[in-house]
A and B are shown apart, each in its own frame.
Chain A
Amino acid sequence: MNKNLGWKLALIVGTLLVFLAGIFGVPKNFSGRGLAAAIQERIHLGLDLKGGTHLILQVMVNDAVNADSDRALERLKDSLQRRKINYTDISKPDPTNNPDRIVVKGIPPESSSDFKQLVADRLPEYDATSGAENTWSLGMKASLLADLKNRAVQQAIETIRNRVDKLGISEPVIQEHGLGQYQILVQLPGVDDPARVKEIMQSTAMLEIRQAMNNGAPYPDQQAALAANSGALPPNTVLLHGRSIGGNDRNDTGDVVYLIFRVSAVAGHDLREARVGRNSQTQLPEVEFFLTGEGGKRFSEFTGAHVGDYLAVVLDNKVMEVAVIKGQIGDNGVIEGRFTDQQAKDLALILNSGALPASIRYLEERTVGPSLGADSIRAGVEAAIVGMIAVLVFMLVYYRGAGINADLALILNLVILLGFMGYFGATLTLPGIAGVILTVGMGVDSNVLIFERIREELCNGKTPPSAVEQGFSHAWITIVDTHVTTIVSAAILFIFGTGPVKGFAVTLTFGLLANLFTAVFVSRVIFDWLLSRKQRGEALSI
């Protein structure tokens, strides 16, 4: 028996050391400050404790689908012409809700098999179904559509991570959020200027160069533009907003409308690099961009063919710049947007990190200021210490000798809990601290169950060793049942919760698991050790 006990004691001491290492690592020096630093390195604080910004973003995946079906539509038009199949109209009737749906009208019945063949050859990712009056309706295959949307989300995550990394924010969390709702969770610890970061993340960075109609001259607003074109825009043109250009008056925020060609000459993926420069005359910051070989070739063809026309630099559907084409231009250009230094730097960063495949919207924003986080830690730790001391003192008073046993188990329970968190890199949140406090309260339940049972058995006239034996074996089943039900609750919290609540679920679960070991195994060993040193028949302090 004694040999067995020694082995068990060694196991407990070993566990203690292993989990202490989990909390502190292997500390280099044992001064108070060294230990505090070691803890901070291993136990990560949640946003609610260290301050930072938590955002939920919605990826407007329909943008990506629209872009794909726009290309498909152009391809279809092209092939219909080439194969000489007649049609009266081809359009996307509902781009907002059914972005993948393309409707072709007026296909003569004799061409319908040709049309089907053409769709199969040229648009393999679409299914064509025929409707009334020679109308065909095309929709993307369901699995490919889902794929496209998921890819848009993944690509958005990559792009956002790229931008956040370039901003030098440490330890960001950027991941898909929820199930199949195309949302992204972004957590940025310690960001003190969330407005700027949000703007940088949200910019789709769709840079395009298009032809500007009407000699590059703007209209004051949409009505004026329509009136000037006798009520209807010329074919293949759109109206885009932009700031009035000309004059370098920084206070001029006049919003005007430009008539712009629908199709771009070069677009975002033709961009190779962007960098901040300074205008040689005005000394204002500007952003220079350089095109890829392919894009540069197209740009120079376009400018060569349009000497004397105007071009517009369009960023996220906003006209940034309109200029006359004086001659053929190679592979670079300049955006002068009357930027501040910071704005020019940010724009270059966004352009270099690539375009988002779809626009994004913010659904949720929570910012915890660092001052609040510090207060929360103070309050949480204070409550934990008060609660802990109250429980420890009560156990000592109520159970005396056995109270020491329970207190040791409780302290070991906390060490294991924190050690777990250190090893798993789990995040400690404010509700997580509450979880630690609750663990103290609930953890002591197991000890109370066992001790009360032992007292009962002693009352019934059993000897101390057999009372301890009976107490533990009877309480064991109950303890397992109670722990399982609480862990079920915690697991559900972990699945459904985010951020702080998840942190709570984690500490509660780890705490309860540790409690199974400490309250049952460790307490038992301590009792056995006490009993082994007592004379037969000597009373147990409980």
Chain B
Amino acid sequence: MEFFRNPNIDFLGKKWYFLAFSLVFSVAGVLSMLFWHGIPLGVDFRGGTLVYVKFSGPPDDNQVRAAMDRKGLHNARIQRYGPPANNELVIALDERETSEQALDRGKLQIIAALETNAPAGKQDLNNVSSLTIFNYLMEKDPLHLGADANQRYTAEAQAIVGYRDRTKGGVLTSLDELRSVTRPEVIAALQEGFFLSNFGVRNVEIVGPQVGKQLQNQAYLAILYSLLGMLVYLWFRFEWIYGVAAVVTVFHDTLITVGAFSLTNKEISLTVIAAILTLVGYSNNDTIVVFDRIRENIKLLRREKLADIVNKSINQTLSRTILTAGLTFLTVLALYLFGGEVLHGFSFALVIGILIGTYSSIAIAAPILVAYQEWRSQRGKPSSGGVGEIRREKAKARA
């Protein structure tokens, strides 16, 4: 099977279309970053509190909001999380409610606000630790065990919590559900001291403002260093203009990817930064493959114009570029569709980035080389220190 048999497309002739395409997307992204959504930083960088809550039935956003308001959490943002069947909400507080003196105050307030049906003096079995259950059982001793109570009740408490978290996804709806893991006497005892709220906390992220700043700096530095790393490596392996072209290309990709996050108002988290750094590497792969071919062809086809060589090289590697991009895209798409909610932002960045990264290695990186060469020859310094250096050295060697 073969998709491309000797393609011969004049890519460089279409450079103005490419430029227009890239400009539209970059400018749209930049405008959104400046005037619309800004750069939507996630809790990792902004600081704040996120509490992921799973409910036993479809949650009513308005009720949850009212509950938050009653506790004075007027700025809480409430969002659906994951597919509707999961019955999950994420409740977010910004850093004003996340002081470093009492980092988890916001979280405790949220939980207290949600426990609307709490009877006096009873604890919420959906949000207690196995230790609390153990202590309670030790006190009540429903099985009249005496001496080996310690071990037995530890096991009972762990079985109950394990069943709640692993089998029921964190929320019990009725104490009777525990019949399969514990004795009726234990359930009867639990009934006296505990009640069941309609939710369980699945995940908590609290980032103080200081760490947020620190992580922000680290993320910027990481992206900067990896761009620098590319520049130096390509300079060393090729020539400096190749390095510059590759870095400009990768910067273009990063800009459009971040722009896509801004346009869709998706939050940028630590893992999204990881995805962007991966893209820096990945987008470079495509660019390098094309550059390698250009370098090889410059040696072979000394008489041809650089623009033709570049076109030829892109066409020769086209089938590889499309195949690899397609296959990587396939895996990333699997991640996006099946990888779960936690990786959503990460896989979104990769989906966008792989499309843009493949496009840019053809549409941005190679034309930069040609544009630079033309600019040099207009200034009357044909091919010295630039793209055609190898050609010149070869000619010298023959002379």
Interface residues of A (CB under 8 A from B): 48, 51, 56, 58, 178, 181, 192-193, 195-196, 198, 341-342, 361-372, 374-376, 378-380, 382-384, 386-388, 390-391, 394-395, 397-400, 430-431, 433-434, 437-438, 440-442, 444-445, 448-449, 452, 455-456, 459, 474, 477-478, 481-482, 484-490, 492-493, 495-497, 500-501, 504-505, 508
Known contacts A371-B200, A496-B222: A431-B320 contact under CB 8 Å: no
Q: Which residue of B lies closest to A452 (CB)?
A: B320
List the B side residues contacting A361 at CB < 8 Å.
100-101, 103
19 interchain pairs, CB-CB under 8 A = A192-B129, A192-B130, A361-B101, A364-B207, A364-B211, A366-B206, A368-B203, A372-B342, A379-B340, A386-B334, A387-B332, A391-B330, A431-B343, A441-B330, A452-B319, A452-B323, A478-B289, A486-B281, A488-B229
**Which of A387, A448, A449, A490 contacts B330, CB < 8 Å?**
A387
A508–B339 Cα gap in the complex (Å)? Answer: 17
- Given A361-B101, A437-B332, 17 more contacts at CB 8 Å? A195-B104, A362-B100, A366-B204, A367-B203, A369-B203, A379-B339, A387-B332, A431-B274, A438-B328, A448-B327, A477-B292, A482-B288, A485-B230, A485-B288, A489-B277, A493-B277, A496-B222
Check if B376 is an interface residue, CB within 8 A of chain A. no
Chain B interface size band reads: 35 or more
A-side contacts of B335, CB under 8 Å: 383, 387, 434, 437
Q: Select which of B201, B203, B222, B284 is within 8 A of A486 by beta carbon.
A: B284
The residues of A that contact B280 with a CB separation of less than 8 Å are: 489
Are B320 and A448 in contact, with the CB atoms below 8 A? yes
Chain B hits for A492, CB < 8 A: 222, 225-226, 229, 277
Distance of A390 Cα from B203 Cα, bound (Å) = 32
Tell me, in angstroms, the Cα distance from A200 to B320 when the chains sit together. Answer: 58
A448 touches B323 (CB 8 A): yes
Among all A-B residue pairs, the 7 with the closest Cβ atoms: A379-B340, A193-B129, A489-B281, A486-B281, A441-B328, A387-B334, A387-B331
Q: Does B324 have its Cβ within 8 Å of any Cβ on chain A?
A: yes
Is B221 interfacial (CB 8 A cutoff)? yes
In chain B, residues 324-375, which have Cβ atoms closer than 8 Å to a Cβ of chain A? 324, 327-335, 337-340, 342-343, 346-347, 350
If the complex has contacts A434-B339, A441-B328, are A371 and B166 also in contact, measured as CB distance less than 8 A?
yes
A455–B169 alpha-carbon span in the complex (Å): 52
The answer on a CB contact under 8 Å between B226 and A488 is yes
- Report which B residues bind A (CB closer than 8 A): 1-2, 6, 52, 54, 100-101, 103-104, 129-132, 135, 161, 165-166, 168-170, 200-208, 210-211, 214, 218-219, 221-222, 225-226, 229-230, 233-234, 237, 270-271, 273-274, 277-278, 280-282, 284-285, 288-289, 292, 296, 316-317, 319-320, 323-324, 327-335, 337-340, 342-343, 346-347, 350
Alpha-carbon gap, A486 to B287, bound state (A) = 12
Partner of B161, one of A192, A195, A362, A500: A192
Given A452-B320, A485-B284, A371:B340 Cβ within 8 A: no
| A residues in contact with B203, CB < 8 Å | 366-369, 372
User: Which residues of chain B are near A371, meaning CB under 8 Å?
Assistant: 54, 165-166, 168-170, 200, 202
Q: Which residue of A lies closest to B207 (CB)?
A: A364
The reply to whether A442 and B282 form a contact with Cβ atoms under 8 Å apart is: yes
Chain A residues closer than 8 Å to B207, beta-carbon distance: 363-364
Q: Give the complex CA separation of A508 and B166 in angstroms.
A: 30
Query: A430 near B343 (CB under 8 angstroms)?
Result: yes
CA distance A492 to B234 in the complex (A): 17
- Whole-angstrom distance from the CB of A431 to the nearest CB of chain B? 5
Chain B, interface SS category: helix
Q: Are B289 and A449 in contact (CB under 8 A)?
A: yes
The complex places the Cα of A7 from the Cα of B378 at a distance, in Å, of 58
Is the CB–CB distance between A375 and B284 below 8 Å?
Answer: no
Q: How far is the CA of A505 from the CA of B281 in the complex (A)?
A: 12
Q: How far is the CB of B182 from chain A (nearest CB, A)?
A: 17
Q: Looking at B168, B214, B273, which has the most chain A CB atoms within 10 Å of its CB?
A: B214
Q: Per a CB cutoff under 8 Å, which of A48, A379, A490 touches B338? A: A379
What is the CB-to-nearest-CB distance from A51 to chain B, in angstroms, rounded to a whole number?
8
* B342 contacts A376, C-beta separation under 8 Å: yes
Q: How far is the CB of B142 from chain A (nearest CB, A)?
A: 18
Asked if B327 and A445 sit within 8 Å, CB to CB, the answer is yes
- Residues of A with C-beta under 8 A to B221: 496
